[in-house]
Amino acid sequence: MAATTWQKRVDAGDWDATTAEVNDFGGALLPRLLTLSETSKIRQLYPDDRVFRATIDMRRYRFGEGEYRYFERPYPEPIEELKQALYPRLLPIARDWWTKLGRKTPWPDSLDDWLDMCHAAGQTKSTAILLKYGKGDWNALHRDLYGELVFPLQVVINLSEPGVDHTGGEFLLVEQRPRAQSRGTATLLPHGHGFVFTTRDRPVQSTRGWSAAPVRHGVSAVRSGERLTLGLVFHDAA
C-alpha cells in the first residue's frame, strides 16, 4: 500500500533523534505535520457543534482558563490519518519504556487493535481534542489518563502561528524525579508542528536502576491573541 501524505510527513522526521530527545527530556519536537491551509480548516471547525461530543470550560473545573472540545467520531480529516501514521513510530518507544520499568507492554502493532482493547475495557469515548486559548488563558499541569488502559505518549500540534496569532502559550512539561526536585521544560511550538510528550510517567535511570518519573503537562499564560491546538491521544476514555 502506498504511503499516505500523512505517513510521509511523519516519516520525514529524524526518529532516532526524536527518540533520544523523548528519552532525555520526556518530549520532542516533530516535523511540520500540517500546512497553513490545513491548520486553518481545523481551526474553523471549532464553532461546529456537529463534530464534537463535549465541551469543557477549564475555569469551571479549575483546569485553568480557556476551553476545549472533544471530537466526535468519525474524526474529520486528517485526525485519524495522523494517529494511524504516528502510532507505529511511537510504539517502539512505549514498549521500551515499559520494559525498562518491568511492566507488561499491552499495545498491539495496530492502533485499531489497541482501541478495540480500550473499548472492550469500557473506554469507548473519543479523545482527540481541539483546544482554544485567548489572552490570559492557560492550562494547569495535568495528565490525560481517562481509564486503566493508557498509551504513554501523545502528540499536540499548534494550529496557530506564534508571534503572529499569539504570544506566550508555551507548552510546559514538569517531571518529578525520584528523590529530587521537579524539572520543568517550556517549548514554544512552531505553527503546524507536532510535539510528542509523556502521558503519565517515563523511565529515568539512577544508581538503583530504572524508576518511573511522573510527568504532567500544561500551557503557560497566553499574553496576547488566540492559540488553538490539536491534541492526539492514543487511548480512548471511559
Cβ neighbors of 73 (< 8 A, separation 6 or more) are 126
Ramachandran assignment for 14, one of left (phi > 0), alpha (psi -120 to 50 degrees), beta (any other): beta
Mind listing the pLDDT tens digit for each residue in 29-82?
Answer: 999 999 999 999 999 999 999 999 999 999 998 999 999 999 999 999 999 999
Residue 80: count other Cβ atoms within 10 Å of its Cβ: 17
Q: Which three cell numbers stand for residue 193?
A: 508542528
- Alpha carbon distance 194, 190 (integer Å): 8
Q: What is the mean pLDDT of residues 14-27?
A: 96
For residues 224-235, give the mean pLDDT: 98
Band (227; pLDDT cuts 50, 70, 90): very high
Sign of the CA dihedral running 230, 233, 236, 238: negative
In the predicted structure, residue 170 carries a pLDDT above the cut 60: yes
User: What's the pLDDT band for 179 if we cut at 50, 70, 90?
Assistant: confident
Percent of residues in the chain assigned helix, strand, coil, to nearest 5: 25, 35, 40
Q: Look at residue 2 in the predicted model and tell me its pLDDT.
A: 56
pLDDT in tens, 131-143: 999 999 999 999 9
Q: What percent of the chain has pLDDT over 70?
A: 99
Taking phi over 0 as left and psi of -120 to 50 as alpha, with beta for the rest, 66 belongs to left
